[in-house]
């Protein structure tokens, strides 16, 4: 053994086979000399019963002093019970967040969520999450980084909160898959931004305007009849857009006056049809070889995008800010105005939780106030007499 110095390194001549020179002052520090003449610093130590070896770097890059300093740090870690070689290998093979996202898509999104939800997940990942966090190691991403990411999206609070929940689910699975320690989800304790629920209901006058426009475009014959049918069904049923656009004739039971949807946002669902909705479906054309109620241009296919038609119709009706989903809100508000209970309305809309229907509870005060005015007016007149 000899002390590894700059002079000793330069004097180490190549041989037919590689050989090692070990340092006499730092046990474990060595110089590896290859037949090509290349010289490389290494450090060797024991981790439990295993002998481990780490390459520190070539002599053309590291000075002798740098190699000795790195060797001392590694040996100190080894004496404290760590395994620097294993740690280095773990970092080398660790997944990036973009790799975790790919596995998340393959083993969760593609298998366990509905098509519309999957589309939203992938959009948020591609547009917001991966451009900011994709190149960070899964093992190294911190709550501070996720907090900053969420804060940077504060101008779009709804999107910021959706991204936060996707990150939460993704890192819960990372723990399940053994990629991070249990309880280390970096989304923990980060509060969501308040969201203002958008509630827009059409008045009876607005519904009349919309009905007139639908009749006009129907008479003009420039729009697809199936698109007109879709809007009317949305108004009459309170269904979600996806439920009407993917409606098949096999799901329609006019005798029982129901739509028997095998799948929806809340699972299998039975939609009860009023008489006008039944009449619409009775008179709707059924195209041979096409199972869809809302048919498209391509034979055998359904209409896939109602938005362009709706934008033309709502503009013509003087309702430029009204979304298609607002037709569902209108169904609920009309039901409440008619005096129907929240449980009944929840059943009609297919809500699985009472809290979902409860968002319309404040509307129930309107008919109650009208009734209160009527009753107290009678009593007031009696008292005054």
pLDDT tens, residue by residue, 259-302: 999 877 667 888 889 999 999 999 999 999 999 999 999 999 99
CA distance 332 to 238: 7
Angle between helices 342-349 and 326-337 (to 10 degrees): 150
Per-residue pLDDT at 195:
81
Say if residue 241's pLDDT is above 80: yes
Per-residue pLDDT at 361:
66
Residues 234-243: what's their mean pLDDT?
Answer: 92
Say if residue 108's pLDDT is above 70: yes
| Tally of CB atoms within 10 A around 256 | 11
Distances (CA, A) of 3 to 24, 38, 79, 288: 5, 19, 22, 90
Domain ranges across the chain: 6-92, 97-176, 204-332
**Burial of 166: CB neighbours in 10 Å, binned 0-12, 13-18, 19+:** buried
Say if residue 203's pLDDT is above 80: yes
Question: 29-33 and 19-22 as β-strands: parallel, antiparallel, unpaired?
Answer: antiparallel
Question: 258-261 and 269-272 as β-strands: parallel, antiparallel, unpaired?
Answer: antiparallel
What is the tens place of the pLDDT at every residue in 19-58?
A: 999 999 899 999 999 999 999 999 999 887 788 888 898 9
Fold of 6-92: Double Stranded RNA Binding Domain (3.30.160)
Fold of 97-176: DNA polymerase; domain 1 (1.10.150)
| CATH number among 2.60.40.1180, 1.10.443.10, 2.170.190.11, 3.40.640.10, domain 204-332 | 1.10.443.10
CA distance 356 to 350: 10
């Amino acid at each position: 053994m000899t002390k590894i110095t700059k002079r000793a390194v330069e004097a180490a001549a190549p041989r037919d086979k590689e050989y090692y020179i070990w340092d006499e002052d730092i046990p474990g520090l060595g110089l590896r000399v290859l037949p090509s003449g290349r010289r490389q610093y290494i450090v060797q130590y024991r981790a439990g019963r295993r002998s481990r070896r780490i390459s520190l770097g070539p002599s053309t890059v590291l000075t002798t002093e740098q190699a000795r300093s790195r060797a001392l740090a590694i040996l100190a870690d080894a004496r404290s019970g760590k395994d620097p070689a294993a740690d280095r290998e773990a970092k080398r093979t660790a997944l990036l967040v973009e790799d975790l996202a790919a596995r998340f898509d393959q083993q969760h999104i593609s298998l366990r969520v509905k098509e519309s939800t999957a589309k939203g997940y992938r959009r948020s990942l591609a547009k917001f999450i991966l451009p900011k966090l994709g190149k960070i190691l899964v093992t190294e991403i911190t709550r501070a980084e996720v907090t900053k990411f969420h804060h940077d999206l504060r101008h779009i609070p709804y999107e910021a909160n959706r991204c936060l929940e996707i990150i939460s689910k993704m890192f819960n699975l990372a723990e399940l898959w053994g990629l991070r320690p249990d309880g280390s989800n970096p989304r923990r304790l980060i509060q969501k931004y308040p969201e203002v629920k958008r509630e827009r209901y059409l008045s009876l006058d607005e519904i009349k305007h919309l009905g007139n426009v639908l009749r006009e475009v129907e008479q003009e014959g420039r729009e697809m009849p199936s698109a007109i049918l879709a809007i009317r069904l949305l108004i009459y049923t309170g269904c979600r857009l996806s439920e009407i656009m993917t409606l098949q004739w096999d799901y329609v039971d006019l005798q029982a006056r129901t739509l028997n949807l095998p799948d929806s946002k809340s699972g299998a669902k039975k939609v009860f049809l009023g008489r006008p909705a039944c009449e619409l479906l009775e008179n709707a054309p059924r195209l041979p070889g096409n199972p869809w109620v809302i048919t498209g241009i391509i034979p055998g296919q359904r209409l896939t995008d109602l938005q362009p038609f709706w934008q033309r119709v709502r503009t013509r009706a003087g309702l430029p800010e009204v979304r298609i989903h607002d037709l569902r809100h209108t169904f609920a508000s009309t039901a409440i105005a008619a005096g129907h209970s929240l449980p009944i309305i929840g059943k009609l809309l297919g809500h699985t939780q009472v809290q979902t229907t409860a968002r319309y509870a404040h509307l129930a005060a309107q008919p109650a106030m009208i009734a209160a005015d009527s009753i107290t007016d009678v009593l007031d007149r009696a008292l005054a007499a």
